[in-house]
Amino acid sequence: MHPRAAEFADRARDHHGVNVDVREFTGGTKTAADAAAAIGCEVAQIASSLVFVVDGDLVIVVTSGANRVSETRLADHYEVDESAVGMADPDRIADVVGWSIGGVPPFCHDATLPVVLDETLLAHETVWAAAGTPEAVFPIAPADLRRLANADVVAVAE
């Protein structure tokens, strides 16, 4: 197992008491479509962790791979102007969150950050999220993901 994926699995066990079933795909899971094809699930079951800046602060949005995040809806949720919402810089993500883009898991971050969960993920029995690298994912029930990430469920899809 890749050292970063092993680190995520260790953090999940040590900080949350859960054993995650990390699966690695050498072909990569960089896009939601790639991940779904490798796993053999629907694109809508891919739980992509995207990091946004909202009024200067980082926020993690875990969205369905079938959806695009609406910055307007995210701004509305945080009661800020839409101009105060945008994608975070990759270097800031790595520095603050502790994971690089493409491998950001929905929980076990270096900093305590707010997490928003796309409500459409709750329609699935199992979703698949990044496990520390662009090649590693793990299955999880959306309710467990919500609990472990301490996420607010929000209608963020366009």
Which residue ranges make up each domain of the chain? 3-154
CATH superfamily for domain 3-154:
YbaK/aminoacyl-tRNA synthetase-associated domain (3.90.960.10)
Residue 28 confidence (pLDDT): 65
**In which residue are the tokens 């900093």 written?**
111
Long-range Cβ pairs for the range 89-98 (8 Å, 24+) = 92/53, 92/58, 93/51, 93/58, 96/58, 97/51, 97/58, 97/60
> What are the φ/ψ torsions at residue 74 (nearest 5 degrees)?
-65, -45
CB 121 within 8 A of CB 146: no
Residue segments in the chain with a per-residue pLDDT below the cut of 50 = none
- Average confidence score pLDDT of the chain: 93
What digits encode the pLDDT tens for the residues 105-131? 999 999 999 999 999 999 999 999 999
**pTM higher than 0.85:** yes
Which tokens in the block code for residue 67? 């959806």
